[in-house]
Amino acid sequence: MHNNNDLPPEVYALWDQMSEYDAADGDQGIHHLLDSICSMVDACNAIWMPTIRVQDVAECDPVNGWRPHVRRYLHDSDSVMTASAEQMKMLDAGVVDITTVRNIALVGDYRANRLIDLVEPEWFQGDYYRCFYHDIGFGDAIWLGCPINVDAEIFFGIYRSVSQPRFTPEDRDLMLTVQRGLRWFHRRQFLNLGLLVAEKPLTPAERRIVRELLAGLTEKQIANSQELSPHTVHDYVRNVYRKFGVRSRAELTALWLGNPPSDS
């Protein structure tokens, strides 16, 4: 584990840069984060996955109901996206690789593991590694978990190409330290996606309204921005407040900042 006094200056720079992204700039912030961490450890690609624990799954589910809500790659080539879609099909069918099972077993803790930390050496000769790593150009990975609450985590995959050396323990520990300093950002993105505290999932239109409310726009400005009537926007705002269990923009903003509203 890195001592903060020994961190490279680019880590502090990244933490400062991430604080400049407001609620309306979540996608740009995620892209910048992935690009920056790849540069730090000479990686070729990375994935950011907000993951939630769903309840309506079989008792024998190998990952205890954990499912990624979205998958965002730094570089989303056809081969990468095809492999990603196939992995999701396998997950839904209950066919899960040991790397995922062992990662999920550690939920609730900040963690970073290289592939070699998760599996035995012979795994690299198997079909899963060939199909979902080697054949799409990935030679190694670091997998990170950032807990948000008991039912929500951020998973990261950081990849090196088949032509590069494997990640070192120092690479792994640096990535863990970087993510520990950004829990606030990941929690904000869960809120933007309507995943963390909304009693019911937000619609795409409601997510847009949330972003603009958090950016400080008035309902009239939101109506102009979204090309909606003020009445429609007001209805959306009321629905958003109801789903988050708040009564005002101030309480919604408090949730976004990580401060739950009072019961008064």
Q: What is the pLDDT of residues 231-261, one digit of tens each?
A: 999 999 999 998 888 889 888 887 776 554 4
Q: What is the pLDDT of residue 255?
A: 74
User: Rg for the chain (alpha carbons), in Å?
Assistant: 20
- The SS3 call for residue 46 is strand
CB 113 within 8 A of CB 143: yes
In the three-class reduction of DSSP (H, G, I as helix; E, B as strand; rest coil), residue 242 is classed as: helix
Between 134 and 52, residue with greater pLDDT:
134
**Structure token pair of residue 190:** 């869960």
Structural domains in the chain, CATH included, are: 4-192 (3.30.450.80), 204-256 (1.10.10.10)
4 pLDDT band, cuts 50/70/90, is low
Higher-confidence position of 147 and 25: 147
Residue 194 vs residues 84, 111, 149, 241, 247: alpha-carbon distances, Å: 23, 25, 14, 12, 16
Question: Quick check: 40 and 178 in contact, CB under 8 A?
Answer: yes
The token pair at 32 is 């910048």
pLDDT in tens, 115-160: 999 999 999 999 999 999 999 999 999 999 999 888 889 999 999 9
191-224 CB burial, b ≥16 within 10 A, e <16: bbbbbbbbeeebeeebbbbbbbbbeebebeebbe
pLDDT band for position 204 (cuts 50, 70, 90) = confident
Determine what percent of the chain is predicted with pLDDT higher than 90: 61
Torsion of the alpha carbons at 248, 251, 256 and 262, rounded to the nearest 10: -150
CB 145 within 8 A of CB 154: yes
DSSP 147-176: EEETTEEEEEEEEEETTSPPPPHHHHHHHH
Residue 165 burial by Cβ neighbours in a 10 Å radius (0-12, 13-18, 19+): exposed
> What span, in angstroms and rounded, lies between the C-alpha atoms of 182 and 210?
21
* Mean local confidence (pLDDT), 196-213: 78
The string of DSSP letters for 198-232 reads -SSPPPHHHHHHHHHHHTT--HHHHHHHHT--HHH
Residue 145: strand pairing partners: 111, 155
Task: Please give the pLDDT value at position 258.
Answer: 57
Q: Where are the beta strands (DSSP E) in the chain?
A: 45-53, 66-68, 72-73, 111-114, 138-149, 152-161
pLDDT band at 203 (very low <50, low <70, confident <90, very high): confident
More confident residue, 1 or 128: 128
The predicted model scores a pTM of 0.78
Q: Is the CB of residue 191 less than 8 Å from the CB of residue 197?
A: yes
Residue 3 has pLDDT above 70, yes or no: no
52 SS3 class = strand
What pLDDT digit, counting tens, does each position of 59-78 carry? 788 898 898 988 999 999 99
Q: Is the pLDDT of residue 262 over 60?
A: no
